[in-house]
Amino acid sequence: MSVFDFSCMSIDGEVIPLENYRGKALLIVNTASKCGFTPQYKGLERLWRDYHSAGLVVMGFPCDQFLNEEFSTEEEIENFCVRSYSITFPLFAKTRVRGESIDPLFHYLCNSASGVFGSKRIKWNFTKFLVSRDGLRIKRFAPAIYPAQLRRHIEKYLHEKG
């Protein structure tokens, strides 16, 4: 099993098989529009623009599970992201990233790459998962790790065959 075995709902309501991204490195991030880490959108967009042509796909998964720091509707989320941060990378529908109703993709990611002290749970917004081109190797980065700090990891994954 790999991340390419999952499908996710886009922010526009379209089911997107992650198989569509096979051979690409993925940076999967649970995001929020009203969080102290929200300015990381700027860095995520910069990574997307710098590395997209080399095979990186940045993917934003809005989540409202941490102090309700996300807008109510996907339309509000998308409008905010585009208006405030000029986001062009793929955004997905609001997603549950922990608890009993955790999205299957995030269940897989959390079990594939532990956080600090071996924790499997996502503890806050802007937890990042970098997935290799083959969909099998996953690295987790805490919210306090800013997008620019991921460049060497991204470059390593981009230079590997998928």
Is 80 strand, coil or helix? helix
Q: How many helices (H) does the chain have, and how many strands (E)?
A: 4, 6
Beta pairing class for 25-31 and 56-62: parallel
Residues 67, 142: Cα–Cα separation, whole Å: 18
Catalytically annotated residues: 35
Name the amino acid, one letter, at 81.
C
